[in-house]
Amino acid sequence: MSIDAFTRHPASVGETYGEHFAFATGVGSRLIAAGLACMLHAIFPFLFERTGSRAIIALHARVTSGARGQIQATTAAVKRAA
């Protein structure tokens, strides 16, 4: 496995490996926390009433901003054309 395997995708969104690692770890941690809140909400409906939906909205904004948004728009356009 070459170093390119670790740097190709981060470079495509304008990040270094370290920046991408930090970003992806942050997103993953937020998803885990939101998922746990949703599971607790399933048991105790009066807890975390908006936590899951707020996390989804916030993560969508983070993930689709900047170079990531351009990649997603390009990918969607290609899928529509196919």
How many structural domains does the chain have? Answer: 1
Q: What is the pLDDT, as a whole number, of residue 4?
A: 86
For residues 2 and 76, the model is more confident at: 2
For the segment 31-36, the average pLDDT, to the nearest whole number, is 97
How far is it, in rounded angstroms, from Cα 40 to Cα 49? 10
How far is it, in rounded angstroms, from Cα 80 to Cα 18? 33
CA distances from 55 to 23, 34, 36, 62 (A): 15, 6, 12, 10
Burial profile 71-82: b = 16 or more Cβ within 10 angstroms, e = fewer: eeeeeeeeeeee
Query: What is the band of 16 on the pLDDT scale with cuts at 50, 70, 90?
Result: very high
Residue 62: domain span = 4-81
For the segment 46-52, the average pLDDT, to the nearest whole number, is 96
